[in-house]
Structure 1
Amino acid sequence: MLYGRTTEQERLERLVAGARAGRSGALLVRGEAGIGKTALLDWLAGTAVRDDGEDGRPLRVLRVTGIEPEADLAFGGLVQLLWPVQDRLDALPGPQAAALRAVLGTGQERGPDRFLTGLAVLTVLADLADDGPVLCLVDDAQWLDQATAEALLFAARRLAAEGVAMVLAGRDDGFTAPGIPELRLNRLDFEDSSRLLAERGAAPALRSQIIAASAGNPLALIEFDSARREQQYQHDPLPVADRVLSGFRSQIGRLPERTRLMMLIAAAEARGDLPMLLRASELLGVDLGDLEEAERNGLLYVMDGIVTFRHPLIASATYQGAVLARRIAVHRALADAAEDPDCRARHLLAVANGPDQEIALELAAAAGRARDRTAYAAASGLYRHAARIAADHRQRAAWLTEAATLALAAGHTSQADRLAGEADELTDEPAVGARVASVRAAVAFELGDRREAARGLLARAGDTATAETAGLLRTAAAYGWLAGDGETVRAAAGRLAAGDCADPLVEGLERLCEDDAEHGLPLLARFLEGGLDASAGPGADGQAVRMLALTCGLVLGDDAAALELASAEVRRCRSEALIGELPYALDILTRVQLLTGHHRDAEAGVAEAEEIARGTGMRRRLARLGGVRARIAAIEGDARRVREIAEATPEALRTGVDCAHVLLDLGLGDFEAALTRLDPPPPGPDRYTWLSLSTAADQIEAAVRLGRPERAEEAMRHFENWARAGAAAAPWAQAVVLRCRALLGDRPEDYTQALRLHEKGGRPFERARTELLYGEWLRRARRRNEARGVLRSALATFESLRAEPWMRRAAAELQATGEHRVSARMPADNPIDRLTPQELQVVRLAKDGSSSREIAAQLFLSPRTVEHHLYKAYPKLGVGSRQELVLLDLT
């Protein structure tokens, strides 16, 4: 019987009812120790299993419990969860099956992406739900190892229509689950506490004392009632949980010594593995019979080959109440009894209290195994412990460096920086120093200080490039470029050249820092000839340079090449299940899609990138994605949406939104704001971002509209130099230059030449702007018949892009030419506009013939969620099957 939990029980019942109806959901139950989280999960498991639901299909329960001593053991929790259902792995897509086999130790060791395991867990749960609803219960989540926690939370956030309910229970401290709804358990009030005590037979005269001492904590109520004749609880100033712990220690202290030792073995082993406990107990001279007193007192029980403490606090009291020498002896016996090398390493860790090279090597081997399974946090901790007891300083530095690298990979930036600093003090070896510098720079970059990241690498690399430092200098140039730090780019290029390690990428960036687009852009084009493989320089930060490789396509203005490169990178991430890298590739792809007029695709890509970024903790990536949304809103004239995006974007990352604001000002006719909102970027990297290049034309038009063409001279010179260097690849850019010249010089022949270049393809929004300006000029020159043709074309493009302020301008100009019945109107309702971004992605892949499982693998969803999206999309599109999708135009 649970008292005072009616509201909580109803909420959990609704969650399970949703799973029975095919709707998935997750919930985090949070509360202090002893508040009744486990009791609530036990109740839910019991009631859910007894009720088969209306369809008669049984509900399957999977359970996992976090174990405090195993918090640093890679995937310890996930092994608990998946071991009973490992037969399902054969049905998974190849990369997912490989990832889980690595977790379970039954297949290859290395996985390609640390988030792939979470996707595989999602797919397993969805497959199980095909046979009936699934209830996944996670207790003591605060003690899960990070790799397990990441996998479960990734799956929980992407549950949709599988028929899976996931309930996680954890203490107030030590476990967070952003994006998962919470249910907080409060202490029992006086009435419910009295009812609980009455059921236990407590005398009415004692109930008030017990309730006051327990403060409504259910475990404290039960334990204080059991010991109600002992008054130490009544006036003890300790917190309730500590008083309960103290009571357990007293109770354990009265047991025979052999019983206490056997309990200590069980507490130190933690998993309840009876065969291992018996092997260790034999080494220490005790046996299973010595647990009898503990069982008789209700402190633990043995069932089905598992030893289980009645409450985790009893295990804690057992372990904490033992002297250090006894704990070390127990862990030594457990290490000797262990058959699993990772389990042995965990116990050896508790044994080592000083330099011990033999144990250090075992810990490092365990760390390597955890790293190869992408359990980066666990691997980092094991390398850190190995370094702590290593006898050799060079080995200690190497292991600390590896620990720092893996801490960074796990998202623990401050810890990575601290470990790298410790390693830096222990060695002057160039190779180790280069890795340390890379980690510290990556930390600074991730925290937003790109300039500091670049200069830190530069300082470490020395005055001349060597084999060890060439990669550092290349990454320093990449960071410097992205930070707008031209000085660092120049210094890196100079040192590479001095060491005969010249690099076309860095040399090209250096030329652009000197405003030498004529020579800089061809070098970047040469760099891109090898595609994204060119980014894998020795010792370089691959992610930073790969991002720069994708960005180069935008800098060159070659939209077709940029689209091809970014699309290929997105396909690579999908095919290899590189979930953590996909948001970066989508970031670039959506920018190109925006520039090429595919706004719907760009919005779908941003939505997907944002969802993955939220699920994987990439908060800064979320902020960067706002630039694409803001520019679409600016084109559509939605000032409120642009303002909301600006308010949600950190100031340091607001350049993209500010550039969008310039376009919004121009479209709404606020030319003064458009001209002055952004200062012209100084010579250097900032001039060559995709947004700065686009904004140059906006500010030129605003200056001319205000009658201050001199304010546009610098922007015009820069834009023209850039477009001239990339003219062969970007005819649209030459067309925009001609449009700007026509504005500045009132030369109609420049308009006509610009339109001929626009016919070669490129950015439709820019073509329509050229048509609008030329139509305005023709109308003013009283060449109304000619004006109508280009204005109609401009209006049609603006309508297709939903560019409302530009539609109004084009319609007004058409009316001024004498055209009747002109009205700016949004495009006719397109069925695909009714779809959500994810529905659009799903139906397009389904139209191409991909199965639900194939679509799920590409979009990192479950097959059931894919089917759900198709079911929702069919009526919106007016079709009833996949076969009918083939007949639709979904572009």
Structure 2
Amino acid sequence: MAVLWGREAEQAQLARVLSRARAGESAALVLLGDPGIGKTALLTQAAAAASGFTVLRCAGVETEAEVPFAALHQLLLPIMDRADALVDAQSAALRAALGLGPPAPGDLLLVGAAVLSLLAEASPVACFIDDAHWLDDASAACLRFVARRLQAESIAMVFAAREFAGLPAHRVPPLSPEAAAHLVADLPSPVRARVLTAAAGNPLALLELPRTFPDDRPVPLPARIQDSFATRLDTLPPDALLLAATDDRADLSTLLRAGADLTALSQAERAGLIEVLDGRVVFTHPLLRAAAYRHATFDRRLAAHRSLAAAVDDPDRRAWHLAAAATGPDEEAAVALEQAAERARGRTGYAATAAALQRAADLTAASPKRLARLVAAAEAADVAGRPDQVRALLDRLPPSEAIRLRAKLAPDAATAHELLITGARDAPRSVAGPMLFEAARNAWQQGDRARLAEVSGLLHERGLRSAAGLDAALATIDGETPSRDGMRAMAELVAAAEDIEAAFVAGLIGDFTASRAIAASAVARAREEGAAGRLPRALATLAAAELHLGRFRDAVTTAAEGLQLATDLGGPTQQLDGILAWIAAARGEDAECIRLAATGDPAWSAWALALLDLGRGRATEASDRFESAHRGPAGRHMQAVYSAPDQIEAAIKAGRRDRAEAVYVRFESWATTCDTDWSNAALARCRAALTEAAGVPDLPWEAARTHLIVGERLRRERRKHDSRVHLRTAAELFDRLGAAPWADRARAELRAAGEATTPAPEHDTLSPQELQIARLAAAGKTNREIAAMLFISPKTVSYHLYRAFPKLGVTTRTQLARLDLS
């Protein structure tokens, strides 16, 4: 790699990124810095040094920031001939996103997975993305997703930006005084001193300012460089580069149709201001392009946009040029933007959809149509994950509009509830029902009995079918037995729907078998449709059901994937953190449990920490935690249902039998009314803890806990032979679940009962992703199909199978299919 003076450290970092990709790994790096600091030069040099790589380049363009996937189109076009190698859903979604095919189902993360797979197909590949701060939102989100998912694909990704969060970054500093002096060594001494002072170590300024001898005005450096560029533009015919600066994507033929002067462009090229490459006009620096645009007067800029609107073939760019040329309400431009928004929505470019609709509303005279465009813009911004834009749009709407959006962005649960209730009172039944369901779910999760009762009253008042079901939830939150009619109504809600809300309701009545089936179906549909945005919530619901059914490995795998996707989407992770904290507690991973509980959902986290204490033999501490948690609003429904069996056991072991019996009375009444697999299994464990009953449930976690309780009691009663049967079974089940502290307790009891024990078997444990991939491979899925389902690359699938096979003691997929991976 040739040396850039004063940039040895940055060059070494870039060389390491390329070296890792050459070695079969992958790496990403963001170069941060002020305009002119040398980021583009570093990218150019690294691209030249990437011998043996497929080199892909693109740059963010300020005027294209609202065109979805504009930068991604530029980056991937040279390798799109490889897109046929992708699975059909990925190929269709990627072609649709880039405008190379018809609209296809799929969201941003499906497109991201397609990009990752495509880059892996072309590997070793080096991607250089300049001016990333000007990337359109869809391209930026997609490339961040890809960069975070890099593992073993032989891909190097280097970004250059003023600011670009979310990836490993290095800020490029000003040049050292010695390096700066070297660059201007040929200048006369007085000029050199002033240039060095004005440039402050900025390489572009050191090269550009000598052309226009710097004065002493306190002008920011980028503006001073632009002033220098403007002076150079004065040597050309007026507005010689205005059209090229107004639309950086326009090819030469389009610029000429719009009225560009070929002679003036040739003169600009000779002056070193532009290059004409592959039929396109390229400015030698982004600041020069900005200077060329700002150098023209306002009326000439409007005229340039009008000329380009008439000349460009792309309807989206035409729409934005029409909008830029408008000086007041303009229905032609508004309609064109509305159509552009629909095309962006078809390419899952929701940020671009929101921007186009917002601008369309700006260009619409006050009317119901303007209101509708603002609401549609707010809804698209919400899907795009841009809450600040949503709030700004909502501020422009009457208070009665977009109530559900207002509630979603409310600062607290109480405000959200009031918005939904107020909106539902005046809304037609078809709209009121969903609003009230959201209000009920919000109140349930907060353990807020008063607000839940308010929703119940409104449901009855409006004659909505979910009223009886909510009465059952209300009874549950009070620790009372719900009526059978109410439970039947909730069961009907479950049976009547297959969405994730039905899975949530199934959990309310303790039917985790149904909840798991519904959630698994929702996850499968989301995967099939490529709707990754719906997956985190569906995966959280599925993981909770798997956990209650004692399918710990499934729950970990499911929750870990949900957490990764939620992080990628910038969405909430509290429930997933809480579920993983609970499993960490069951497995005796103390530090991990405490770490996850600190950020998890309060109810899940409190239960996890209490379970951790209980598993470690700290019964009094566990009982205290349960009492403390259940006194708070977030724990009221948990006390009556899910954690009651653990609370009962902790209270008994802490010598608080009266408390255990009080909790049991409520739980028994609820569980017998539910009459589900989980409620019956949990009730059997409670009875074993409080009575002589010795019935053992089928669910593995409940069975293991019950065997342990019965075995402990029998040993205390000196019935050692009988106790050993239960304790041995408990130890085996706990081993299978990976619940180390509970297996240790069972073995300690076995030894006390006179039976020698062997240590728990050593397992070369699969990671959650390895297990998930191994299961899919065992089911006959190809690497490409697995990659598409999990939003990773086929090479990453191969990498994880390579690691999993030795741990499982197999060498082929045929052998893998014979294993029990449940």
The answer to whether the superposition gives a TM-score over 0.5 is yes
Q: Is the 8 A contact 1:663 1:695 kept in 2?
A: no
Structure 2 stretches lacking a partner, 5+ long: none
Read off the aligned partner of 2:655 and give its amino acid letter. Answer: G
Q: Is residue 70–residue 98 contact of structure 2 (8 Å, CA) maintained in 1?
A: no
Please report the TM-score for the alignment, with normalisation by the length of structure 1: 0.87
Q: Is the CA contact 2:27–2:156 (under 8 Å) kept in the aligned structure 1? A: yes
Question: Matched residues in 1 for 2:9 and 2:141: separation?
Answer: 29
* Contact 2:472/2:483 (8 A) holds in 1: no
1:356 is aligned to: 330
Q: Is the 8 A contact 2:194 2:214 kept in 1?
A: no
Structure 2 CA distance for aligned equivalents of residues 337 and 738 of structure 1: 76
Please state if 1:218 is matched with 2:198.
no
**Residue 12 of structure 1: how far off its partner (Å):** 1.3
Pick from 179, 183, 193: which aligns with 1:196? 183
Q: In the alignment, which residue of structure 2 is the partner of 1:28?
A: 30
Q: Secondary structure at the match of 2:815?
A: helix
- Counterpart of 2:585 in structure 1 is 634
2:506: which partner in 1?
553
Letter paired with 2:456 = A
Trace 1:405-804 onto structure 2 (pairs within 5 A): 405-424=379-398, 433=401, 436-444=402-410, 449-462=412-425, 466-503=429-466, 505-506=469-470, 508-513=472-477, 515-519=480-484, 520-532=486-498, 535=499, 546=500, 548-618=501-571, 620-621=572-573, 623-647=574-598, 649=599, 653-678=601-626, 679=628, 681=630, 687-689=636-638, 693-727=641-675, 729-730=676-677, 733-741=679-687, 743-744=689-690, 747-748=691-692, 751-752=693-694, 754-755=695-696, 758=697, 761-762=698-699, 764-804=700-740
For 1:705 and 1:159, locate their aligned partners in 2 and report how far apart those are by CA, in whole Å. Answer: 49
Partner of 1:270: 248
CA-to-aligned-CA distance 1:828-848 (integer Å, 9 cap, x gap): 2335x2x22222222222222
Question: For each residue in 1:536-582, what CA deviation from the matched residue of structure 2 results, as whole angstroms up to 9, or x when unmatched?
Answer: xxxxxxxxxx2x32223333323332332222222222222221222
CA distance in 2, matches of 1:363, 1:578: 25
Indicate if the aligned counterparts of 1:465 and 1:501 stay in contact, CA closer than 8 A.
no
Helix, strand or coil for the counterpart of 2:643?
Answer: helix
Residue pairs, 1:312-327, within 5 angstroms = 312-327=286-301
1:741 Cα deviation (Å)?
4.5
Find the counterpart in structure 2 of residue 18 from structure 1.
20
* Deviation sequence 1:771-814 (CA, Å, 0-9, x none): 22222332333333322222222232233334344334333433
Q: 3-state SS of the aligned residue for 1:313?
A: helix
Q: Shift in Å at residue 680 of structure 1?
A: 6.5
Match of 1:88 in 2: 82
Cα distance in structure 1, aligned partners of 2:369 and 2:721: 82
Letter in 1 for 2:483: E
The aligned residue for residue 48 of structure 2 is: 46
Q: How many angstroms apart in 2 are the aligned matches of 1:673 and 1:724?
A: 30
Q: Is the CA contact (8 Å cut-off) linking 2:597 and 2:608 kept in structure 1?
A: no
Selected match of 2:231 from 231, 246, 250: 250
Relative to structure 1, the CA distance from residue 686 to residue 525 in structure 2 (aligned partners, 3 Å threshold; closer, same or farther) is farther
Question: Residue 880 of structure 1 aligns to a residue in which SS?
Answer: coil
C-alpha distance in 2 between matches for 1:575 and 1:3: 52
Give the secondary-structure state (helix, strand or coil) at the position aligned to 2:429: coil
Give the superposition deviation at 1:596. 3.0
1:62–1:81 contact (8 Å) kept in structure 2:
yes
Instruction: Report the CA distance shift for 1:464/1:706 in structure 2 as closer, same or farther (over 3 A).
Output: same
Aligned twin of 1:280: 258
Query: Structure 1 residues 104-113 or 163-172, which shifts more?
Result: 104-113
The SS at the match of 2:159 is strand
Equivalent pair of 2:57/2:128 in contact (CA under 8 Å): yes
Structure 1 pair 102–666 and aligned structure 2 pair: CA distance change class (3 A): same
CA contact (8 A) 2:56 2:75 kept: yes
Residue 56 of structure 1 is matched in structure 2 by none
In 1, Cα distance between equivalents of 2:473 and 2:334: 45
Residue number in structure 2 paired with 1:301: 275
Residues 20 and 389 of structure 1, relative CA distance in 2, 3 Å threshold: same
Equivalent-residue separation in structure 1 for 2:557 and 2:256 (angstroms) = 57
Contact 1:260 1:318 (C-alpha < 8 Å) held by counterparts: no
- Aligned-pair identity in percent equals 40
Deviation at 1:125, TM superposition (A): 1.0
> Displacement, 1:470?
2.9
Q: In the alignment, is the contact (CA less than 8 A) between 1:68 and 1:144 conserved in 2?
A: yes
Shift in Å, 1:205: 5.3
Native 8 Å contact 1:236 1:243 kept in 2: no
Does the aligned pair in 2 maintain the 1:110–1:374 contact within 8 Å? no
CA distance in 2, matches of 1:870, 1:803: 25
Instruction: Report how far residue 513 of structure 1 moved.
Output: 4.6
Q: Which amino acid aligns with 1:476?
A: A
The separation in 2 between residues aligned to 1:453 and 1:341, in whole angstroms, is 40
User: 1:671 offset after TM fit, Å?
Assistant: 2.7
Change (3 A) 1:737 1:90: closer
Q: Write out per-residue CA displacement over residues 657-709 of structure 1, whole angstroms, 9 at most, x where no aligned residue.
A: 111111222233333322222347479995445x8633222222233333332
Deviations 1:720-779 (A, max 9, x none): 12211112x22x5335435535544xx42xx22x32xx1xx12x2322222222223323
Take 2:254 and 2:602, find their aligned partners in 1: how far apart are those partners? 58
CA drift of 1:605 comes to 2.3
Question: In the comparison of the two structures, how many residue pairs are matched?
Answer: 816
Distance in structure 2 (CA, Å) of the matches to 1:500 and 1:311: 66
Separation in 1, partners of 2:250, 2:494: 57
Q: 2:604 corresponds to which letter in structure 1? A: G
User: Which residue identity does 2:717 align to in structure 1?
Assistant: A
What secondary structure, in the 3-state scheme, does the structure 2 residue paired with 1:566 have? helix
Note if contact 2:226-2:291 (Cα within 8 Å) is conserved in structure 1.
yes
Report the residue type matching 2:812 in the other structure. Answer: S
Q: 1:850 to 1:222 in 2, by over 3 A?
A: same
**Backbone CA RMSD of aligned residues:** 2.4
Residue identity opposite 1:314 in structure 2:
L
Q: Could you tell me which amino acid in structure 1 is paired with residue 674 of structure 2?
A: G
Tell me the residue number matched to 2:140. 149
Contact 1:255–1:293 at 8 Å: present in 2 too?
A: no
Whole-angstrom distance in 2 between the partners of 1:869 and 1:798: 27
Q: SS at the partner of 2:550? A: coil
After TM superposition, list the pairs within 5 Å mapping 1:169-180 onto structure 2.
169-172=160-163, 175-176=164-165, 178=166, 180=167
Counterparts of 1:684 and 1:204, CA distance in 2: 75
More divergent stretch after superposition (861-870 vs 63-72)? 861-870
CA–CA distance in 2 between the matches of 1:486 and 1:372? 42
For the 8 Å contact 1:465–1:496, the answer to whether it is kept is no
Q: Tell me the alpha carbon deviations over residues 139-161 of structure 1, each in whole angstroms, 9 at most, x when there is no partner.
A: 11111110111111111211222
3-state SS in 1 of match to 2:128: strand
Q: Distance in 2 between matches of 1:682 and 1:800?
A: 35
CA distance in 2 between partners of 1:120 and 1:808 (Å): 46
1:42-95, Cα deviation, whole Å (9 max, x unpaired): 1111222xx33xxxxxx2111111110111122211221233333223222222
Q: TM-score, normalised by structure 2?
A: 0.94
Match of 2:769 in 1: 838
Residue by residue over 1:517-542, the C-alpha shift from the partner in whole angstroms, topping out at 9 and shown as x without a partner, is 2333332222111342xx4xxxxxxx
- Residue 671 of structure 1 contacts residue 706 of structure 1 at CA under 8 Å; is this kept in 2? yes
- Deviation for aligned residue 1:381: 1.0
